[in-house]
């Protein structure tokens, strides 16, 4: 949970993606067509992954360089 919202770009992208997925599950049309439930669940999962993602400028590991 240390990396939660540590990079505003990935947190914002994940939040928007998850919000669109949740909205489409409740029948809100995004654009001209409704999004099917499988795609909506994928969007929610991907959004959660982006929210908890590591910063874009970190190459790996947890040791301070």
Whole-structure pTM value:
0.73
Domain boundaries, the chain: 8-51
Q: Cα–Cα distance between 23 and 57 in angstroms, integer?
A: 31
User: What distance, in Å, lies between the first and last C-alpha atoms of the chain?
Assistant: 21
Tens of pLDDT, residue by residue over 2-41, are 555 567 888 899 999 999 999 988 888 777 777 888 999 9
* CB-based contact 17:57 (threshold 8 Å): no
Higher pLDDT, 49 or 9: 49
- Dump the DSSP string for 39-65: HHHHHHHHHHHHHTPPPTT--SSSS--
- SS3 assignment, position 59: coil
Please report which confidence band the pLDDT of residue 42 belongs to, taking 50, 70 and 90 as the band edges: very high
**Scanning the structure block, which residue is given the tokens 């240390």?**
2
């Amino acid at each position: 949970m240390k990396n939660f919202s540590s990079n505003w770009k990935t947190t914002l992208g994940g939040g928007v993606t998850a919000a669109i997925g949740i909205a489409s599950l409740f029948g809100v049309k995004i654009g001209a067509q409704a999004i099917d439930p499988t795609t909506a669940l994928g969007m929610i999962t991907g959004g959660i992954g982006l929210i908890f993602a590591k910063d874009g400028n970190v190459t790996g590991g947890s040791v301070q360089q």
